[in-house]
């Protein structure tokens, strides 16, 4: 008689009770369902929540993760499902690895995506190491993305529900991290199934609204956060056209983003003008016609490559790329310069491509994510 134990739902050849999984719990419905589901399946679940910034400032704020109420909600789920729960103070790490860079990037005229840096530098780095210290076999999160076994290694794939897919925010996941991570919600057809599971398990967060804001940016007001972190950042200056002619004044470069048209205060122009570039050193907001926003060639660096062949093994890759989280992938030619740098040529020009945003690589043939990098200077 064979004594082989079939793989459990997390991919290990042992019983769920003998498989320890650390669940990163934000206090929201997604990670709560992951923890409850794994606990019900009999896994040795340990819940961990990160305290990322000051409770006092966060307690009254709704719609963001990892605030005081969210820690309380995560603890209640753990108590209800009968598994241990720990809160780790990562405030200093979060400030140094995420918030400071966010502020400096904004001051440099870029449009940063701090959620990617948080996943890369805190959740999938320090927290993942903590999970290993706890002798966990793997770490599970509530992200909507799929990890699939490939012929050569574990692969990262888009979520089944395109409306919930979080691949843009997870492109920098390293292969060794992917080997250790699990995403139990990625295959669900819609968020409705997640909430139905939360109701089934009787979780107090079943009807909790999704977080909308960046957790440390109340009400989406980036400028007020930057002003607190970097006093003097909101100095006024000139709005100039592409010839350098002054057409108005602004109240601080940090209040503007590339592609912005409304709120410029420069009415009376023959054609609509858009923000096409920011020059923090000269304290200038440069405006131009819509066609000036069109970008074909994008310089990308800090590339994380998840493909089977080495990134530099080809002179060019024909891939689909996404340059904003809200836009679908577009056909492009990716030309490696080094293992971590490339020139990305879009087949059809995109508007509003901004330094500080990510450029994420997708297979043109299936749902696989092949990595990506950061857009880092004025694109052509």
3-state secondary structure the chain: CCCCCCCCCCCCCCCHHHCEEEEECCCCHHHHHHHHHHHHCCCEEEEEEEECCCHHHHCCCCCCCCCHHHHHHHHHHHHHHCCCEEEEECHHHHHHHHHHHHHHHHHCCCCCCHHHHHHHHHHHHHHHHHHHHCCCCEEECCCCEEEEECCCCEEEEECCCCCCCCHHHCCCCCHHHHHHEECCCCCCCCHHHHHHHHHHCCCCCCCCCCCCCCCCCHHHCHHHHHHHHCCCCCCCEEEECCCCCEEEEECCHHHCCCCCCCCCCCCCCCCCCEEEEEECCCCEEEEECHHHHEEEEEEEEEEEECCCCCHHHCCCEEEEEECCCCCCCEEEEEEECCCCCEEEEEEEEEECCCCCCEEEEECCCCCEEEEEEEECCCCC
Paired strand residues for 50: 88
Cα 178 to chain centroid distance, Å, stands at 15
Paired strand residues for 246: 240
Using CA atoms, how far apart are residues 305 and 339, in angstroms rounded to an integer?
8
359 in catalytic set: no
Catalytic residue among 118, 138, 158, 359: 118
Radius of gyration of the chain (CA): 22
Using CA atoms, how far apart are residues 193 and 199, in angstroms rounded to an integer?
10
Using CA atoms, how far apart are residues 79 and 24, in angstroms rounded to an integer?
15
Catalytic residue among 66, 158, 215, 359: 215
66 in catalytic set: no
Report the phi/psi class of residue 261: left, alpha or beta, with left for phi > 0 and alpha for psi in -120 to 50: alpha
Using CA atoms, how far apart are residues 67 and 217, in angstroms rounded to an integer?
12
> Which residues participate in catalysis according to the annotation?
118, 215
């Amino acid at each position: 008689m064979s004594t082989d134990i079939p793989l459990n739902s997390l991919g290990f050849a042992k019983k769920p009770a003998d498989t320890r999984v650390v669940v990163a719990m934000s206090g929201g419905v997604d990670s709560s369902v992951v923890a409850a589901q794994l606990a019900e399946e009999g896994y040795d679940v340990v819940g961990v929540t990160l305290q990322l910034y000051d409770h006092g400032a966060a307690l009254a704020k709704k719609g963001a993760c990892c605030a005081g109420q969210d820690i309380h909600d995560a603890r209640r789920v753990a108590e209800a499902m009968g598994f241990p729960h720990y809160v780790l103070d990562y405030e200093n790490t979060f400030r140094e690895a995420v918030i400071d860079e966010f502020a400096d990037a904004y001051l440099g005229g870029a449009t940063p995506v701090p959620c990617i840096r948080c996943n890369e530098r805190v959740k999938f780095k320090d927290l993942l190491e903590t999970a290993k210290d706890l002798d966990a076999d793997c770490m599970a999160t509530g992200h909507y993305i799929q990890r699939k076994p490939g012929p050569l290694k574990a692969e990262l794939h888009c979520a089944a529900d395109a409306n919930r897919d979080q691949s843009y925010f997870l492109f920098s996941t390293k292969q060794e991290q992917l080997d250790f991570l699990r995403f139990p919600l990625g295959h669900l057809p819609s968020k409705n199934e997640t909430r139905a599971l939360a109701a089934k398990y009787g979780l107090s967060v079943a009807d909790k609204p999704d977080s909308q804001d960046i957790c440390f940016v109340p009400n989406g007001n980036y400028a007020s956060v930057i002003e607190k972190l970097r006093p003097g950042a909101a100095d006024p200056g000139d709005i100039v056209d592409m010839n350098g002619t002054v057409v108005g004044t602004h109240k601080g470069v940090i209040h503007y983003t590339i592609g912005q048209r409304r709120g410029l205060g420069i009415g009376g122009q023959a054609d609509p003008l858009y923000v096409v570039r920011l020059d923090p050193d000269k304290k200038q907001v440069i405006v131009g016609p819509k066609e000036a926003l069109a970008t074909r060639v994008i310089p990308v660096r800090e590339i994380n490559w998840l493909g089977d062949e080495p990134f530099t093994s080809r002179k060019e890759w024909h891939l689909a790329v996404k340059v904003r989280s809200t836009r679908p992938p577009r056909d492009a030619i990716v030309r490696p310069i080094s293992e971590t740098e490339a020139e990305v040529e879009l087949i059809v020009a995109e508007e509003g491509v901004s330094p500080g945003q990510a450029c994420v690589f997708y297979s043109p043939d299936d749902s696989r994510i092949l990595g990506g990098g950061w857009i880092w200077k004025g694109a052509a």
